[in-house]
Structure 1
C-alpha cells in the first residue's frame, strides 16, 4: 500500500489506499492560511491560532474530503464514538467510527500516531488518535471492536499509521519505556543518541497485527525531524495536522 500524493482544491495530502470506495490521507503543514508559527494548514483549535484561520483550514480539508469533518476532543484515552449523519459532536473520544459517506472522520496530531482503518467491503472506517497513554489504554483494540460491532472484519481491514515521532527521536525515562513495553513490547526503542525511547508506530503495527489486521502501512516520516510536519516535542505550542478517512 504505497504512499501516493493526491490533490483537491490545491491541497497537498499524502494519500493512502485503504480499499475501493474509501478516501484516506494525512495532511501536513502545507496548503493553509495560518500565519507563523502555525503556518500554514494548522487544524488545531486549541493551540492559540486565529479561529478564522483554523476554520478556513478545516474547510479546505472538507473540500478535499468531500464531506463535513468530524473530530472529537482527544484526551489520550480509549473511548470510541460511532458517527453517523446525525451525530457530529462526539465529545471526548480518541477514536471515531463511521458507516456513512455523509461525514469524514479525522484525528489531529503533532507527534502521536494518526491511524486510519477501513473495511471497504463492510463500508466501515475509523480514525484513531494513538499516543503513549492511548496505546497502553487499548484505544486500538476498542476501535477494532467498535468496527466489528458495525460489521467490519479485522481480516479484511486495512490500516495506515501516519507520520509520528520516531523511536530514534522519542526520548523517555527508562521507567516509562519499561512500563509501556510491558504492555506493548514492540514499543521498546533507543534514541539515535543512545537513550531510552518509545517507538509508537512499531507498537501500533504490532497491536493491529495481533488483532488480526493483515495489512498495516507505516508512513515512516518522523515528525520531530520533518519540518513539513508539526511536532510538539520539537516546538511546544505548535499546530496540528490530521489523518482523515471517508467512505465515498
Structure 2
C-alpha cells in the first residue's frame, strides 16, 4: 500500500509530512507504518518503515533524525545526524537535507519553519511537555540559528481531540494553578473527569510565543484507527503495545 502523507499548505514549499499508519510493513497491533524504535515491533521492520518514510521525504534513512522522547521541555539544535538519539522532545536545524522527525500516538507532533531564515524545527508535545514549555524551547533553538518567531509557521499534526481526551481532576487542577484562564481548555466529562483540548492548548502556547502562524490540521488520532495509532485507544482495547506515527520536515 502506498504511504499516506498529510501535508499542510502553510508549510509549503518545504518538504514535510504527517505520515499516517498506511503503507508500512508492520503487522498485528502495529499494522502499517510503525516508525517507533521504542515499540516492541521487530527492529528490522521499523527500520524498513523509516526507510520508506525517508525516501518519501527525499533523504537517506540516516538523515532522518528522531529523538529519545521523554515528555520534557528539552530541545536541541542539530547540524548533523547525532550518533545517538538525544534525550529531548524538540529540535531545530538550519542544515539542508537533514530531516527532523517526531513520533506520536496521541501527543501533538508540531512542525515549525522560518523559510526566510532557512531554519526548521519539530517537537513532540503531550500535555506535560507542552505545559513545561517544549514548544517555546524549540522556538528558542530555532532563534539561535537565525529564526524569528514572527516569521515562523507552526503546524500541529494528528493528535487526540478534546472529545476523546478524558483526564482526571488532578490534571485540570495543575493547569488552573498555572493560570485560571486555562479553564477554557476543559469541558465537563463523566463524574469528576474533564475533557482536555490538547491541540487548543498547544495553539494558545504557540500564539503566546509570538509565532506568525499556528494551526492544527484537525485530525484526531483516537477517532480514526484505520489511519492513526493511538496510545489511549490501544489502552482501552487492552492491547499490549501500539505503533508510533512519524511527522517530519526538512529544508
TM-score normalised to structure 1 length: 0.90
1:1-248 equivalence runs, <5 A: 10-19=2-11, 21-67=13-59, 68-85=63-80, 87=82, 89-183=84-178, 185=182, 188-190=185-187, 195-227=193-225, 228-236=227-235, 237-247=241-251
Question: 1:70 touches 1:89 (CA, 8 Å); kept in 2?
Answer: no
Q: Distance in 2 between matches of 1:187 and 1:31?
A: 38
The offset of 1:93, in angstroms, is: 0.6
Offset of residue 165 of structure 1: 0.8
Note the residue ranges of structure 1 that are not aligned, 5 or more in a row. 1-8
> How many angstroms does 1:214 deviate by?
2.5
Residues 174-183 or 59-68, more deviating: 174-183
Q: Using the alignment, how far apart are the partners of 2:112 and 2:247 within structure 1? A: 10
Contact 2:6–2:18 under 8 Å retained in 1: yes
How large is the Cα RMSD of the aligned pairs?
1.9
TM-score by length of 2: 0.89
Contact 2:89–2:125 under 8 Å retained in 1: yes
Provide the C-alpha distance between the structure 1 equivalents of 2:97 and 2:156, rounded to a whole number of angstroms. 24
Instruction: Report the CA distance shift for 1:13/1:86 in structure 2 as closer, same or farther (over 3 A).
Output: closer
CA spacing shift, 1:97–1:14, aligned 2, 3 Å? same
Number of equivalences: 239
Cα shift at 1:88: 5.3
